[in-house]
Structure formats: C-alpha cells, structure tokens
C-alpha cells in the first residue's frame, strides 16, 4: 500500500472524530449565546416579555395596565353583609348564612388555629402568646381582650367579624389570611364560647338539670 494512502486514512479517521469531540464539549460547557436555531420554534420568537419596554406606547411599557375599575373574576365583593359585616350601614346582628353543626365545627377549628394562641382556648385572653409575654414582662404589651366582658359580649356579630377582618387597635388584621366564610364561622364559635361561659340553668336541657344539682 502506498505510504500516502496510509497517512491519508489516519488523517480522515482523526477528522471523523471531531464532531464527537465537539458534541461532548457542548454537553459540559455553557455559553451566553443563543444556540443556532435554523427553524424558529415557538420558544424562540419575537415577543415582549414582562417588564420589557415598548416604544409604541407613550409610557414605554410593553405590559399594559388594566383598565381602571377592572374586577378580576370571582372578586366582586359587593355583598356588604358577607364581606364587611354591615347591613344598611350598621353592624350586622345576623349571620349572612345559616350556622349549622359543620359550620360551627369549622369555626372551632379555625379559631384554634388563628385566635387561641392569643385569646386562649376559652377566650379569656390567656393564650400561650399572652402567657409568654407575661413571663418576659414585655414592655408595652397589650393583653388580648377577654371575650367574656360585657363590652365584647354585647358587640354585634358584624363588629366581631370586622375585628377579625381589619384588626382592632393592637390586634392585627386576619382578613388577608382567613376567607370571609371562615371568619363568620369563627364569629359563630366566639358566640358559642361566650354563651358557654355565661350560661344559666335555662341553657341546660330540662332532663339533664337533676344531674347538675
Ligand atoms: C396576636 C395576638 C392576637 C390574635 C392572634 C388574635 N387577637 Fe383578638 N385581640 C388581640 C389583642 C391584643 C386585643 C386587644 C386590642 C386592644 O385593646 O388594643 C384583641 C381584641 C379582640 C377582640 C375585642 C375587640 C373589641 O371589640 O374591643 C375580639 C372580639 C377579638 N380580639 C377577636 C379575635 C378573633 C376572633 C381572633 C382570631 C381570628 C383574634 N382575635 C386573634 C390579640 C390577638
């Protein structure tokens, strides 16, 4: 075999390996440049991304602000009773929906999560946070209110609903965390707690009275 043929064959074999070397390198290195894209797919197209500028509009923003007064779907909070605890401009004295046993159970469960840490399981304002603040002698600490004062017992349900929604004085607002239906369920449970701590013999079913005496 002529010598030039052998050298030529070796050379061709070495060149044939080059694509594999390049592919192997591409798999382990990164590049800031967009890869070569002969056929433009939808992942690579001329379009505006969020927060980009667009000289077409006078304010230069590509993303257009919503039309003033736009209301997102499912966010029409028009019902004053359900969402603000008000009826005819006054604090509601009724619930916006009937309170049955599952609602009350839900209220108890939500109360235990959101309110009991401060107000205590029975609503005397002696929750674990209040106990800890007492222990630390926190200056400026305002103890959580007891639900069993005449003042809070006489609050209309709409007022208590509003207290949960927007907070009151030093108590923070829980409206952003608790949906309106759950806030009403909690109000129902607060009412149940108030009744339980202020019960008379009239609240006991007659057939159970003898057991009490
Ligand atoms: C971070 C502690 C904390 C949590 C949690 C908390 N509260 Fe309060 N709450 C307070 C404090 C403190 C006050 C008294 C505010 C004051 O007088 O400055 C108060 C006052 C109240 C009052 C009396 C307001 C009035 O009419 O004068 C009600 C009713 C009440 N809270 C209900 C709730 C309910 C229901 C929840 C659960 C959704 C809740 N709170 C969660 C701290 C808390």
Tell whether 55 is covered by a domain.
no
pLDDT at position 62, please? 93
Which 8-state DSSP code applies to residue 53? B
Q: What is the pTM of this model?
A: 0.73
What DSSP designation does 144 have? P
User: pLDDT of 178-198, one tens digit each?
Assistant: 999 999 999 999 999 999 998
Has residue 72 been placed in a domain?
no
In a domain, 207, yes or no: no
Place 199 in a pLDDT band, splitting at 50, 70 and 90. Answer: confident
Work out the pLDDT band at 115, boundaries 50, 70, 90: very high
Residue 57 included in any domain: no
C-alpha–C-alpha distance, residues 163 and 12, integer Å: 84
Q: Is residue 77 part of a domain?
A: no
- 177 close to 200: Cβ distance less than 8 angstroms: no
Atom 40 of ligand 1 has which residue's CA nearest to it? 115
Distance 43 CA to ligand 1 centre (A): 52
Q: How far apart are CA 174 and CA 105, in angstroms?
A: 19
Q: Which atom of ligand 1 is nearest to the CA of 111?
A: 37
Q: What is the mean pLDDT of residues 140-149?
A: 93
Q: Is residue 64 part of a domain?
A: no
Looking at the structure of the chain, the number of domains it has is: 1
Low-confidence winner among 42-46, 50-54, 90-94, 162-166 (lowest mean pLDDT): 42-46
Percent of the chain scoring above 70 in pLDDT? 100
Predicted local confidence at residue 95, as pLDDT: 97
pLDDT for position 212: 78
* Distance from the alpha carbon of residue 88 to the mean position of ligand 1, in angstroms: 25
Mean pLDDT on 70-96: 93
Task: Tell whether 190 is covered by a domain.
Answer: yes
pLDDT at 213 over 80: no
Domain-located, residue 81: no
Confidence of residue 138 (pLDDT cuts 50, 70, 90): confident
The ligand 1 atom nearest the CA atom of 143: 12
pLDDT tens string 36-60: 878 877 777 788 988 999 999 999 9
CATH assignment at residue 142:
1.10.760.10
DSSP-derived letter for residue 61 is B
Pick the residue whose CA is nearest to atom 37 on ligand 1.
115
How far apart CA 123 and CA 83 sit, in angstroms, is 24
Determine the structural domain holding residue 119 and report its residue range.
100-201
Residues with CB under 6 Å of ligand 1 are 114-115, 117-119, 129, 142, 144-145, 152, 155, 160, 163-164, 168-172, 174, 186, 190
């Amino acid at each position: 075999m002529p010598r030039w043929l052998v050298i030529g064959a070796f050379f061709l074999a070495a060149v044939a390996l080059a694509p594999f070397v390049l592919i192997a390198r591409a798999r382990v290195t990164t590049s800031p440049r967009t890869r070569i894209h002969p056929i433009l797919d939808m992942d690579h197209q001329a379009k505006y991304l969020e927060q980009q500028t667009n000289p077409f509009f006078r304010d230069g923003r590509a993303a257009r602000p919503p039309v003033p007064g736009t209301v997102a779907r499912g966010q029409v909070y028009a019902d004053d009773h359900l969402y603000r605890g008000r009826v005819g401009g006054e604090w509601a004295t009724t619930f916006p929906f009937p309170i049955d046993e599952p609602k009350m159970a839900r209220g108890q469960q939500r109360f235990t999560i959101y309110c009991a840490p401060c107000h205590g399981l029975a609503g005397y304002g002696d929750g674990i946070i209040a106990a800890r603040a007492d222990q630390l002698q926190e200056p400026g600490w305002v103890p959580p209110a007891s639900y069993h004062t005449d003042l809070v017992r006489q609050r209309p349900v709409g007022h208590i609903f509003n207290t949960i929604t927007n907070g009151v004085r030093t108590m923070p607002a829980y409206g952003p965390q608790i949906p309106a239906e759950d806030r009403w369920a909690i109000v129902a449970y607060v009412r149940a707690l108030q009744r339980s701590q202020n019960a008379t013999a009239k609240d006991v079913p007659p057939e159970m009275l003898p057991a009490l005496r």
